[in-house]
Amino acid sequence: MKTFKIFLVVFTILLLAAGIYFIEFFYPIKGEYEFLVSKKVPASVVAKSLEKGGFIRNAYSFLILSRITGWDKKIKAGKYKLSRPLPTFRLLYSMVYNGLYVLENPVTVKEGETIADIAKTLATIEVDTAEFLRLTRDPSFFEYLKKYFPRLDARITLEGYLYPETYMFYWAEDPRQVIFKMVSQLFAVIPDSFYDRMKELKFTLNKTLILASIIEKEAQVDFERPLISAVFHNRLRLRRPLESNVTLEYYLRERRAWLEGSETRLDTPYNTYKYTGLPPTPICSPSIKSITAALYPAKVNYLYFVAKGDGTHYFSRTFAEHRLYTMKVRSLYKQKVQNSQSQ
């Protein structure tokens, strides 16, 4: 009796496959399409959508085949490119095992973006962002990454270690794979000579990325990166607070033209007006240009800079000079605001 049942199941699968092949051989579907399967969509909905879109002839055949094979619960979310007439079995197999026809999606991490920014971008391809965010703060996951990247120096968060680049990910990609690719890219772009330079400066990789991330947020034009780096190096050497707005903005999660006096007194390690040294973590994903600037500052004696409003800065050696520049910039800013309000 048991043998007969097995025979019956096998016979049914072969008969169904033969029927589907007959339909698709004599009635091919022509054209090239993209088809999206969202997360947690049942096989019945996928089958109906494929039929409605003209990708398969018979939704019922697709659904029955998926249930007989046990693949109806295993269809993966993703974007598929159907570029020629596709046998139902092959299409179903692709949706279960990420085989043929699966498209990768470009995802761009911009220079200066935070982990929170990256999570928002990943949400557009249905990556599990809650898990992504959890992993970026999970010390046990850091230890896993260190097996592949022994120089990884993250302690609190992976902020700063997810390198800005355009990546290709599958729809609903595993967050572990997403992070792995981004961290891998960071170590791919940092040359070995930079680690020698870190030793000369008595910098760790983490310290380098922290400073580079601040430079990334402060600089808007490339030629100023080494100058901004020099200001911070000089202040660190003199044990003076960095007095950088962008570290407080990271804590406040808000970009500001000016910080209020009360905000510069906030009790947080990201308040570089109140505390000397670097903040505890990077504040964004720095580019290789900012990493280079962090290790190779310009040879100048500047201790201050203030944004002009056009993407560049006024640099100065004394507080008196810096104060004059600051007053000038604020006056121009107020005038600009008044002009915009009067229009």
Residue 23 clears pLDDT 60, i.e. is over it: no
Secondary structure of residue 287 in the 3-state scheme: coil
Predicted local distance difference test score (pLDDT) of residue 320: 94
Secondary structure of residue 11 in the 3-state scheme: helix
The arrangement of secondary structure in 8-100, i.e. its CATH architecture, is 2-Layer Sandwich (3.30)
Cβ burial of 249 (10 Å; 0-12, 13-18, 19+) is middle
Rounded to an integer, what distance in angstroms lies between the CA atom of residue 196 and that of residue 296?
A: 12
Predicted local distance difference test score (pLDDT) of residue 39: 83
Residue 237 clears pLDDT 60, i.e. is over it: yes
Residue 238 clears pLDDT 80, i.e. is over it: yes
141 vs 333: which has the higher pLDDT: 141
Predicted local distance difference test score (pLDDT) of residue 83: 60
Secondary structure of residue 170 in the 3-state scheme: strand
Q: How far is CA 65 from CA 38, 50, 75, 79, in A?
A: 20, 14, 12, 21
Q: pLDDT class for 97, splitting at 50, 70, 90?
A: confident
Q: List the single range of 77-81, 190-194, 332-336 with lowest mean pLDDT.
A: 332-336
Secondary structure of residue 228 in the 3-state scheme: helix
Residue 26 clears pLDDT 50, i.e. is over it: no
Domain boundaries, the chain: 8-100, 105-189, 194-302
Q: pLDDT class for 100, splitting at 50, 70, 90?
A: low
Q: How far is CA 32 from CA 12, 37, 61, 105, 233, in A?
A: 31, 17, 22, 17, 56
Q: Which contacts (CB < 8 Å, 24+ apart) does range 12-20 have?
A: 12/68, 13/65, 13/68, 13/69, 16/61, 16/64, 16/65, 16/68, 17/65, 17/89, 19/61, 20/58, 20/61, 20/65, 20/87, 20/88, 20/89
Percentage of residues of the chain with pLDDT beyond 90: 61
Report for 13-27, 56-70, 141-155: range of highest mean pLDDT: 141-155
Q: What is the pLDDT of residues 126-159, one digit of tens each?
A: 999 999 999 999 999 999 999 999 999 998 999 9
Structure tokens at 240: 């003076």
Predicted local distance difference test score (pLDDT) of residue 209: 98
Predicted local distance difference test score (pLDDT) of residue 57: 82
List, in sequence order, the alpha helices (H) in the chain: 2-26, 43-52, 59-69, 88-97, 115-123, 129-135, 139-146, 175-189, 192-201, 205-218, 225-237, 245-252, 288-295, 319-342
Residue 25 clears pLDDT 50, i.e. is over it: no
Q: Residues 242, 214: contact at Cβ < 8 Å? A: yes
Q: pLDDT class for 1, splitting at 50, 70, 90?
A: low
Q: pLDDT class for 192, splitting at 50, 70, 90?
A: very high
Closest CA to 216 of 295, 293, 300, 107: 293
